[in-house]
Chain A
Amino acid sequence: MSSTTTAPPAAAPSKEDRRGLADLWLRSPTLGPLIALAIAVVIFSLTSSTFMNIDNMSLVLQQTIVIATLALGQTLVILTAGIDLANAAIMVLGSLLFAKLAAQGQPPLLALVAGFAVCTVIGAVSGALVTRLKLPPFIVTLGLLTVVTALGRLYSDGNSWPVTSDLLGYLGKGSYLFGQFYVTPGMFVMLAMFGIVWYALSHTAWGKHVYAVGNDEEAARLTGIHVRQTLFSVYVVAGLIYAVAAWQALGRIPNADPNAFQTGNLDSITAVVIGGTSLFGGRGGVWGTLVGALIVAVLRSGLTQAGIDSLYQDVATGLLVIAAVAFDQWARRRAL
């Protein structure tokens, strides 16, 4: 190992100093979002007496789960320099399949399997269109957004379908810890999924290839990475994750509704971007996304408790997205 005590060349230190903050941002992209989350929590606990209540914290967590899970799949796609506009629509279709099949008397397990299969197949379709027809992910998923939304309405006859089985609502049925903290299986499922994807991204060759493809697709191809396989697998895995999000959703809402989660897609992109993953691909990670999703939930909860209209909450969230992207751009220019 080279010694770190060796004096760097004369010109280096000032340059390093100048780059310090930008470099830190590029190296540990989760740090910024974590600080933002901490600041938001501190401010809201000062401005609202109920914000730090254990039941409110638990509510914030539960409100985070569905968006965070959607954002997990979105993170994978964005890391490859793509974007998924259809994720919430895929999730809604999945939840409709779960609920309607079960309501029509199919075994709940079969309904789950069918929903998971359909979401994964739709992911595979996006992947195939991106890799085989070489269409931009924005276009592919924009088209799928329309198609899948329509399919959901057709399949549900425009109605919402009640969650009739315990299995389908299982992830939202928890119990109280410490009196007021409501713990659901869904929380553990969400954390486990983030853990698995984190492991795959940071500790396997597949993860390295996902980052490399997002960094520079041509360079990745020249180093012998199977770019198309990698991209395709990302969309398939994302589809599977959206299916889990659909199951999570049925734990939170009494009916599967074709018109639910209208802002789910944009919220997932917001969480990813606020979490420090670059829209240009190749940089970021899943923990930042979890923090990003928490920031959005905390912001909404805190502003609600402070009596601020939800439209102003949208304004705050939107400004945060712009600030996050601007900072990312600045850091990249600075460090290069």
Chain B
Amino acid sequence: MSTQQHEQDRVEPGAAEPVMAATGLVKRYGKVTALRGADFELLPGEIMAVVGDNGAGKSTLIKALSGAIVPDEGEIRLDGSPVRFHSPLDARKAGIETVYQTLAVAPAMDISSNLFLGREQRKPGVRGSVFRMLDRKAMRAAAQDQLDALGVATVQNIDQIVETLSGGQRQAVAVSRAAMFGTKLVIMDEPTAALGVKESGQVLDLIRRIRDRGLPVILISHNMPHVFEVADRIHVHRLGRRAALVQPGDYTMSEVVSLMTGALSLDSDGALVDPSGHRAEVDEQGHAVAVDG
């Protein structure tokens, strides 16, 4: 079990080239326009939370970034070079791993098999090349190493069948798989949505550890406290585009919620303004109120 943790110097926004950047993404579903000129950026070593109301277009944005859909317009760059994903497999080959809300695990199979599903390793030599024999030992060892390195201590036995795990443990398996194979970034869709308080905390820890190991994370979440707990920056999505890009320390949760709902927006100085353009803030009851000055 490795205890050393290479705490990366977190790069300040603007100081580094984004790992991933998208500009002007448009996606239409018939008459519905799910993305209308959406921008996105992810810097090395950060957790970027994506928040927004239902129907704002978060899932569509994430699908475009993970190759599940091809946007009608706009550009996606990975490490500065334009990319065009036609399937999740394309994105995965480019080092982008996605943890789906449904987890995409095979419940009747063990943890090790699930970690390597679709990416099985074969034995060296003739046994592997001619007889296609899997190297189960190597895969189990690698799976155990991965869980140890990520500090997933709640899972005791790598041979355990996934359906006998708790919700948090299953989530940990899905997240570990992404961390194991992701080389550029990891996308997580609502990883804490189905979990209790304690298990959510464990998954949030896991997300931080992945970030600390140098893999940036895109985190879609509805849960403001969770977002404020782990996110380095918050992408607020509204009506198919990025309405604001903020740091959790600069605004309160209520203020971010009012950005989400459109009760308030940011002016060019980053100040909160109401729809008529007047400076505003959010009071303790969560209502947007105008302020003088």
Residues of A whose CB lies within 8 Å of any CB of B are: 1-2, 4, 6, 8, 19, 23, 26-27, 203-206, 208-209, 211-212, 215-216, 218-220, 222-225, 282-283, 335-336
Contact = CB atoms under 8 A, between A and B. Distances in A.
B107 interface: yes
Contacts of B102: 218-219, 222
B134 A282 contact: no
Contacts of B106: 211-212, 215-216, 219-220, 282
A204 B132 contact: yes
Nearest to B127: A203
A220 B117 contact: yes
Contact of A282 (B103, B108, B120, B133): B108
12 contacts: A2-B156, A8-B156, A26-B164, A203-B131, A204-B132, A208-B113, A208-B134, A209-B118, A219-B106, A225-B118, A283-B108, A335-B164
Q: Give the size range of B's interface with the partner.
A: 20 to 34
Contacts of A206: 132
A203 B164 CA distance: 23
A4 B109 contact: no
A277 B269 CA distance: 65
Contacts of A219: 102-106
Nearest to A6: B156
A223 B117 contact: yes
Give the one of A6, A209, A215, A283 with max B CB within 10 A.
A215
Main secondary structure of the interface of A (DSSP, over half): helix
Closest 10 CB pairs of A and B: A224-B118, A222-B104, A215-B106, A205-B120, A219-B104, A223-B118, A212-B106, A204-B132, A223-B117, A225-B118
B175 to A, nearest CB: 14
A219 B114 CA distance: 11
Interface in B93-124: 98, 100, 102-109, 113, 117-120, 122
Contacts of A223: 104, 117-118
Contacts of A216: 104-107
A8 B106 CA distance: 25
B265 interface: no
A26 B163 CA distance: 10
Contacts of B161: 26-27
Nearest to B98: A222
A212 to B, nearest CB: 4
A220 B132 CA distance: 20
